Structure 1
């Protein structure tokens, strides 16, 4: 299941409220990766790939939500998994990271850990794919700082130096890896991509751009980026049209 990135960011909104957010982005030369690989909650993010075992992702996030550290949660699941040599599993929580690549994953495979993020991939053209993905995210990471694009202005970037939303930055990271060659199986033309973000921050209207999938296409990154742009456009339009209704906590005016 090609390559993915898991990240954790802590930040303050402009009104001084502290929050955590987690995200996963993934792409592969197979359809429907968004149904199999990314698992995210407001406490952690996990990606399961190679010979996929969906339970590793689903239960991994459940264990993190129950208070288990990400390394303890994912290590325990792998220890009970007879197929572990064929798995890739990685993730983050608020305090740490975890990466695992089984020795029977398809070449080239590997992973890396950065500060507050992990990247892993298999059946890639080379190590430069995950390095480029990591570099692209790290150069735009937002951690332990004030993010002016959140809170009441979640969809508005008032200054060109303001950070992009995490979902967009994760798509950009995938694009960097894709440009380095990505998945080497060129004979498989039907591809997919997905991005999922969760945070402890509440919104009057849940940002739709935080949970996007392109399930079957020959241009997964371009299509995911276009889907993101349209979701952001719709979000901004809805906020503008129904701002008064949201402020009054009533949807009566939206009917």
Structure 2
């Protein structure tokens, strides 16, 4: 029902130190995907989808926060899940990646693991959807905000056909980004959802741009002195 991307990036923060940021973005031809699939913390990002088990995302992030490696954390959760062959589960942490697509997911389904990112999808028009999503992320301008680049990546996959269920008009999309850098206030444009729309990615892009502009205006007004 979904395709999504999880990423980890290293960058230099406003404090001059090196930090990690983790992002996850997702879209589907059903409402409310942001309540079910994307999870992130300062230690990693996880997406749970197909026959979605929300606890895989919640517990996956909890395990990463406890210091487990992403492969160990997500594999352990799948091993304990009797419905794992219906699941897709993927994610990143500070050291690696993990991606799983069960044999009972509905086609087309599959995943890609790259350097510091994972992409997975099911009920897609074809493999080119995840390939285009991955390529758009890899080829994106690193000087652009990560939230914008994640939406760009989803739009590239959507342009390749995306979710094949064209009879379902109501769709959704979501974006989450977390970082090891402490900023006050936290950038609230890094946790956004479009819960029900016929144009979820266009709406998510517009929402992201507006939220970022609003944040920057608030910082200038209330913290600029």
Matches within 5 A, 1:76-225: 76-140=76-140, 142=142, 163-225=143-205
Alignment coverage as a number of residue pairs = 225
Q: 1:11, CA displacement in angstroms?
A: 1.3
Provide the residue aligned with 1:31 in structure 2.
31
Measured against aligned partners, the alpha-carbon deviations of 1:177-226 in whole angstroms (never above 9, x if no partner) come to: 01111000001100000000000111122112100000000001000001
| RMSD (CA atoms) | 1.1
After TM superposition, the structure 1 stretch with the greater mean CA deviation from structure 2, 8-17 or 95-104, is 8-17
Q: 1:232, CA displacement in angstroms?
A: 1.1
Measured against aligned partners, the alpha-carbon deviations of 1:8-56 in whole angstroms (never above 9, x if no partner) come to: 0111136531101101000000000000000100001000000000000
CA distance in structure 2 between the aligned counterparts of 1:106 and 1:209, rounded to whole angstroms: 33
Provide the residue aligned with 1:155 in structure 2.
none
CA distance in structure 1 between the aligned counterparts of 2:26 and 2:138, rounded to whole angstroms: 16
CA distance in structure 2 between the aligned counterparts of 1:64 and 1:14, rounded to whole angstroms: 25
- Structure 1, unpaired ranges of 5+: 143-162, 246-255
Provide the residue aligned with 1:45 in structure 2.
45
Provide the residue aligned with 1:249 in structure 2.
none
Q: 1:244, CA displacement in angstroms?
A: 3.5
Instruction: Give the TM-score taking structure 1 as reference length.
Output: 0.86
Instruction: Give the TM-score taking structure 2 as reference length.
Output: 0.97
Measured against aligned partners, the alpha-carbon deviations of 1:141-198 in whole angstroms (never above 9, x if no partner) come to: 74xxxxxxxxxxxxxxxxxxxx121111101111110111100000110000000000
CA distance in structure 2 between the aligned counterparts of 1:14 and 1:68, rounded to whole angstroms: 28
Q: Is the partner of 1:126 in helix, strand or coil?
A: coil
Measured against aligned partners, the alpha-carbon deviations of 1:55-95 in whole angstroms (never above 9, x if no partner) come to: 00000110011011000000000001000010000000000
Q: 1:243, CA displacement in angstroms?
A: 2.4
Q: Is the partner of 1:125 in helix, strand or coil?
A: coil
CA distance in structure 2 between the aligned counterparts of 1:243 and 1:119, rounded to whole angstroms: 38
Which ranges of 4 or more aligned residues in structure 1 deviate by more than 2 Å?
A: 13-16
